[in-house]
Amino acid sequence: MAEKNNLVMICIAILGVVTVAFGLADILVSAGGDGTELSILEIPGDMFRGGWGGFIVLFAGLFYLSGCKNVAEVHNASKVAMGSVLIWIMAGTDIFAMITESIPGGEDGPWFNSLSGFLGTYAPPYAPAMFLLPFSLVVVYYILKQERTR
């Protein structure tokens, strides 16, 4: 049991460190003014998604780190869950923005987007929160499972 808890703690701590790193990268890149693309990763350069959003990703990482020590305890579990909620807000709004962009056909195009244009909107690169989303889901699944057995 103790070994399992240690493993969970290490996993969440790693996720926390990566999330903090992504948050800092968002803030620093947006402070520079231009966005950056690294293969399928895109760090936005605008103050809204990069600056404001970067702070949220950073805080999500801090929530993970502050709650990772003993996730079996309900207050720590809530911090980790809240870190995931912040990631969902970021990734969720990114996905919603993609959906709203993918439907209309553009200024001079037809009313609705073509199938290739529609699918193309969902192609990479993605913002950091999108990469963190699956891990945040796993973390919350674990916490909810733990809550049910508590």
Max Cα–Cα distance, the chain, nearest Å: 62
Element (H, E) at 38: strand 36-38
Query: What's the min distance (Å) between Cβ of 75 and another protein?
Result: 5
Beta strands in the chain (DSSP E): 36-38, 41-43
Encoded tokens for 9: 């703690």
Query: What's the min distance (Å) between Cβ of 145 and another protein?
Result: 11
Please name the residue that has the structure tokens 């720590």. 76
- Please give the single-letter amino acid code of residue 134: P
Between 79 and 135, whose beta carbon lies closer to another protein?
79
Between 97 and 138, whose beta carbon lies closer to another protein?
97
Between 51 and 125, whose beta carbon lies closer to another protein?
51
Residues making contact with another protein (CB under 8 A) = 47-48, 52-53, 55-56, 59, 62-63, 74-75, 77-79, 81-82, 85-86, 89-90, 92-93, 96-97, 99-101, 103-104, 107, 111, 143-144, 147
Residues paired with residue 2 on neighbouring β-strands, in sequence order: none
Query: What's the min distance (Å) between Cβ of 26 and another protein?
Result: 12
Please name the residue that has the structure tokens 């929160």. 129
